[in-house]
Structure 1
Amino acid sequence: MDVDAATQSMIDNLPAKTGRSLDEWFAVLDVAKRDDASLEKHGKTMALLKGEHGMSHGFANLVALRYRARDAGPQTHDDLVDAQYAGGKAALRPILDRLVAEATALGADVEVAPKKTSVSLRRRKQFAVVEAASAKRVQLGINLADAPATERLRAVGGMCTHRVDLAAIDDVDDELLGWLREAYALA
């Protein structure tokens, strides 16, 4: 199940698990926020939902994140990417653009899915994720199952099995593109 499907499943299960729909929780938070402006902070919203309403951590996090996103207004994919590569990270944007171009050239089934802090590359499932980790490097997470780690291709845990740090457009070389093709084939 991909991340978006899992999130939608949680939203669908909110009434059964918490007694209220997402919109009903938003109404609860709107009322509470009138009395306590600090509810603009994620942690304060989480504490309210968990403490006063007995919500589990997962559902409280979902409601808090969605509530803040609602208040922030709609964002396009371009807005999300532009925000990631603003300021000191602007010089890294060509690395992202090249990775996206190479990934989408792998097949018509590649989906480019920008999030708040990363850009996910998916087929049937995510095969890579690109993040502007700092003003000096882009981090490419790749799902390569049992591929052996190297000095450059480091094994990591989490949403991706491996990670490569890229500091310049020249780092998107034949070796890296081979790993990207392999991850695409496995997805």
Structure 2
Amino acid sequence: MPTLPRPSAPYDLHPSVAYVQAVLANFKAKTGRTVEAWVDLARAQGPAEPKPLVAWLKTQGLGTNQASFVAQRAGAAPGHAFDDTPEGYLAAAPGYVDAQYGGRKAALRPLFERLTDLARSLGEDVRVCPCETIVPFYRHHVFAEVKPFASRLDLGLALGDPASVKDADARLKDTGGFAKKDRITHKMEITSEADLAFASAWLKRAYERDAKG
């Protein structure tokens, strides 16, 4: 397998960041208070524990996502950089990957890097956007994702209806995602470099299926 070029930047902005920023920007218009004012109110009058605080904020008129953002900023619920600035997310993203591939899973890091390179080689519109437990690959939507386990990687793929996916090698597994209307419908296990040639063809198919936004 040829050596693929490294990307100029390791990771890309997760779509959730733009969504969160839009929610935060509209807080006052939607709720009558800024996020900071809601945080002050939550700290002064709300319960200390995360779930009760979210429930209390909802009784004050906030939606579920709005209440969760306020609870995180009030310090009652754990937050992460998805709820921060784009700069904050991009600074945190490498740490998400480092945490996923620490300890016993460190030996899987080269396979993850190879999968990332394969995904990026499919087109300049591929985005690699780490989360805390998985690393999704996006085009217009998520078309694949990588999750590490103790001795393998699971490569999830958005391939659509299992009835239309013919895998002569019987290595793809139906995740049940199509029936649940999830994007990821199949997965395969990656345990060695030899698995990557098989994975590459299916990764390309998942990418090409997401040609339209």
TM-score category (smaller protein): 0.7 to 0.9
Residue 152 of structure 2 aligns with an amino acid whose one-letter code is R
SS at match of 1:91: helix
Tell me the TM-score normalized by structure 1.
0.75
SS of 2:129's equivalent in the other structure is strand
C-alpha offsets along residues 35-81 of structure 1, whole Å, 9 cap, x if unaligned? x8xx5xxxx223212125524433333444566337x9x44322221
Aligned residues, how many? Answer: 175
Matches of 1:113 and 1:95, distance apart in 2 = 17
Q: Which amino acid aligns with 1:154?
A: K
Identity of aligned residues (%): 33
1:176 to 172, 193, 199: 199
Look up the match of 1:10. 23
Shift of residue 104, structure 1, vs aligned partner: 0.6
Residue pairs, 1:84-163, within 5 angstroms: 84-132=100-148, 134-146=149-161, 147-148=164-165, 151-156=170-175, 157=177, 158-163=182-187
> Structure 1: any 5+ residue segments left out of the alignment?
none
C-alpha displacement at 1:164, in angstroms?
A: 1.6
Contact between 1:111 and 1:123, CA under 8 Å: does it hold in 2?
yes
Q: Distance in 1 between matches of 2:155 and 2:22?
A: 28
Letter in 1 for 2:51: M
Q: 1:26 and 1:149 mapped to 2: Cα distance?
A: 52
Contact kept in structure 2, 1:141 and 1:161, CA below 8 Å: yes
Higher percent of residues as helix? 1
Separation in 2 of the partners of 1:64 and 1:129?
Answer: 29
Say what the alpha-carbon RMSD is for the aligned residues: 3.0
Match of 1:25 in 2: 38
Deviation at 1:29, TM superposition (A): 4.6
3-state SS of 1:163 partner: strand
| One-letter amino acid of the structure 2 residue matched with residue 181 of structure 1 | K
Runs of 4+, deviation exceeding 6 Å: none
Correspondences of 1:36-115 after superposition (within 5 Å): 39=48, 44-51=49-56, 53-54=58-59, 55-65=62-72, 68-69=79-80, 74=88, 75-115=91-131
Structure 1 distance, partners of 2:107, 2:157, is 22
Match of 2:6 in 1: none
Q: Which has the higher contact order (CA 8 A, sep 6+)?
A: 2
Instruction: For 1:166 and 1:31, locate their aligned partners in 2 and report how far apart those are by CA, in whole Å.
Output: 50
**1:104 counterpart letter in structure 2:** R
Q: CA deviation at 1:15?
A: 3.4
Tell me which moved more, 91-100 or 114-123.
114-123
Structure 2 alignment gaps of length 5 or more: 1-14
Distance 1:124 1:49, change over 3 A: same
Query: Aligned in 2, Cα 1:46/1:149: closer, same or farther, shift over 3 Å?
Result: farther
Using the TM superposition, name which of 103-112 and 162-171 deviates more: 162-171
